Amino acid sequence: MDNKLVKLHNETFGEYIKRIRIIRGYSQRTLADIAGLSNTTISRIENNSIESSDSSTIVKLANGLNIAKEQLLIYSGYLDEKESLKFKTIQDYILVGMKNLGWINSCQDINEETLTYVEFLLKRYGKK
């Protein structure tokens, strides 16, 4: 994902993050502390200096800015908006995410027990 190419209503992904941060009244340092990221990372994202951000960074940003993770994953290019509309359960969301990250080749590659465990981990550790 190239942040310079992602446009949201005539703004880059980095500009979008900066705008939301300012609306929230956060400095870069405050957002970095809340999100568990470095101040340098926040600065580089906002200035579109990072060629790509991994999905865990995107999720941390969403948590820090108190915005929907799914929406930020769509804006960042990690999640296709058309695919996200098909999600009926958290399992669907997890499966598509795992496939997009290259953890599995297809949604048939994972059994129900593994999916339940991943869901448990997300519920337990995903809300920091």
Closest alpha carbon to 59 in 89, 107, 120, 101? 101
Q: pTM of this prediction?
A: 0.59
Q: CA-CA distance, 68 to 62, in Å (whole number)?
A: 6
Complete domains list, the chain, with CATH: 1-79 (1.10.260.40), 86-128 (no CATH)
Q: CA-CA distance, 52 to 45, in Å (whole number)?
A: 9
Kindly report, residue by residue over 42-91, the tens digit of the pLDDT: 999 999 887 656 778 888 998 899 887 777 877 777 766 665 555 556 66
Joined tokens for residue 11: 């703004």
Kindly report, residue by residue over 12-29, the tens digit of the pLDDT: 888 989 999 999 999 999
